[in-house]
Structure 1
């Protein structure tokens, strides 16, 4: 039985991916941060699901989980690692603390760095293991190539994650380990459900308040009308099993708009987004 490690399986894309892979005959090691979630998922998924208790930013806990997985593999390689865990920090740069921005980077960028370092030996970097090399799937976003205003911490983290994935894809050629990127658009997951809980009071004095209010409304719609997480889970399965997987796959509920946005001149997009959120200004820098 081939084994997969997935980070952040308590809800959303991680939960759906664990469910899909288990149904396809894989053993899934899934990370959660709370014991109550570990027990809930163990009861839901059954014997082929093994909960791993760690926060992706806790290097010691991640290394302990990697040792646990190594022991369970009994000398064989890990078939795949899905770096899925992540958060989204909303707000304009000028309204956020450095600590808030840093927390976003710690979870969405340093988390995958820590997890990948810990599990890469099991994917085939350790020559003592037997079996085919595994694959790494990085869960990015359309925001990994498209900077969203008022979500700069999130966009920054996803741009960085894609740079990391591209560099590792070339480094890990040495071991035969593929590094693949999945970039969803809006998905019906709790990461966007939290938009409703954004504390707007703290932004009362901000010049970005009207734009942030509009963004909050947009995010709430995305949470309701986005792709089902099972759609992304199927893409993860394909990335892990296809004989020649695509290096980067985009999945959006609005594929035409996403495609067009990727080709429009940046200045056009700036003006369109500025009008949509009320960020356009008559002031222009120049001499």
Structure 2
């Protein structure tokens, strides 16, 4: 009985291994558009795909970021300035892409641009604090995707959306977890809708990686700013000790974040180049060994873990 089961499981993984190593043909003729290439995952992916010979169209928020990327890549790679929160910027970038891909269409769209701060208890924040993150991480993803879908559909290509492990399991307050849950939902519905046209949609779920988005100083500064702007009642309820404990915990955890961003970009590359990409890619040891299993645990167990692990308000229970 157990032997047959072990054989079946082994055959399943062997078949999956074989399927996932089949690569799409004529990759050097295919265009891939990536958002958020100033630094981090987007920058690494742009350079990685350029080395593979793909025609990379990289968007950056700043001209400085675009210039630095061009200096480190071949002449095939082209850059454009894009602010995913502005409709006119997206429209201009869409026209720019159309002029370059022509009748071939756009093989790959990678929605990578994102921000994280502020990360604080939700009670400390305003609606605008939430909208700042949602505009980039969720609404920007949606508008860029809708603008480029006709080109992706023409190529029967790929949409790769960067979510996070916190898209499955909310770890903290603020708009970041909310935005990534939204990316998961948007990607799932999009994948089912576009399957009729031969378009595949994949979700990347990184764990904790050291990038500009997860910069500890930036997170700590946004936390302090939110605390400074909080009402006297909130400050009394939470207490100075809570604020100090949170900042201390980020300083302890930050050195443990992985610097191997290629673990994430390799997943992105596979989603773009494999004949049979996965629906979801979890990248990083913490995503696979800790956060992902926790997302399947009963809520009361997860709540208990967080209750005893995180700082407590001064006047909490």
Q: Do the two structures share a fold, i.e. TM-score over 0.5?
A: yes
Residue 246 of structure 1 aligns to a residue in which SS?
coil
Cα distance in 1 for residues equivalent to 2:51 and 2:243: 41
Cα distance in 2 for residues equivalent to 1:96 and 1:146: 20
Residue 224 in structure 1 maps to residue 255 in structure 2? yes
Q: What's the counterpart of residue 196 of structure 2?
A: 174
Q: Does the 8 Å CA contact 1:22/1:49 hold for their aligned counterparts?
A: yes
The change in CA–CA distance for 1:201 and 1:76 in structure 2 (over 3 A counts) is closer
User: What is the CA RMSD across the aligned residues, in angstroms?
Assistant: 2.0
Q: CA deviation at 1:210?
A: 4.0
Q: What's the counterpart of residue 198 of structure 1?
A: 222
Q: CA deviation at 1:222?
A: 4.6
Q: What's the counterpart of residue 19 of structure 2?
A: none
Q: What's the counterpart of residue 92 of structure 1?
A: 121
Higher helix share: 2
Residue 26 in structure 1 maps to residue 49 in structure 2? no
- 5+ residue gaps in structure 2? 1-28
Q: What's the counterpart of residue 301 of structure 2?
A: 268
Q: What's the counterpart of residue 11 of structure 2?
A: none
Q: CA deviation at 1:185?
A: 0.8
Q: What's the counterpart of residue 120 of structure 1?
A: 149
Q: After superposition, what is the alpha-carbon deviation per residue over 1:237-287, rounded to whole angstroms, capped at 9, x for unaligned?
A: 00111121110111133232224313332112112112111338874xxxx
Larger Rg computed on CA atoms: 2
Q: What's the counterpart of residue 13 of structure 1?
A: 41
Q: CA deviation at 1:168?
A: 0.6
Give the ranges of 4+ consecutive aligned residues of structure 1 lying more than 6 Å apart after TM superposition.
none
Residue 171 of structure 2 aligns to a residue in which SS?
coil
What pairs with 1:242-261 in structure 2 (closer than 5 Å)? Answer: 242-254=274-286, 255-261=288-294
Match of 2:137 among 88, 91, 108: 108
Q: What's the counterpart of residue 3 of structure 1?
A: 31
Cα distance in 1 for residues equivalent to 2:250 and 2:279: 28
Q: CA deviation at 1:221?
A: 4.6
Q: What's the counterpart of residue 267 of structure 2?
A: 235
Q: CA deviation at 1:82?
A: 0.4
Cα distance in 2 for residues equivalent to 1:202 and 1:69: 39
Q: What's the counterpart of residue 164 of structure 2?
A: 141
Cα distance in 1 for residues equivalent to 2:262 and 2:295: 25
Q: TM-score, normalised by structure 2?
A: 0.81
Cα distance in 2 for residues equivalent to 1:40 and 1:164: 32
Cα distance in 2 for residues equivalent to 1:210 and 1:186: 25
Residue 22 of structure 1 aligns to a residue in which SS?
helix
Q: Does the 8 Å CA contact 1:190/1:223 hold for their aligned counterparts?
A: no
Cα distance in 2 for residues equivalent to 1:216 and 1:186: 17
- Count of equivalent residues: 276
Residue 203 of structure 2 aligns to a residue in which SS?
strand
Residue 148 of structure 1 aligns to a residue in which SS?
coil
Cα distance in 1 for residues equivalent to 2:140 and 2:125: 21
Q: CA deviation at 1:78?
A: 1.1
Residue 106 of structure 2 aligns to a residue in which SS?
coil
Q: After superposition, what is the alpha-carbon deviation per residue over 1:84-129, rounded to whole angstroms, capped at 9, x for unaligned?
A: 00111311111111111111111111000111011111112x5xxx
Q: CA deviation at 1:216?
A: 3.4
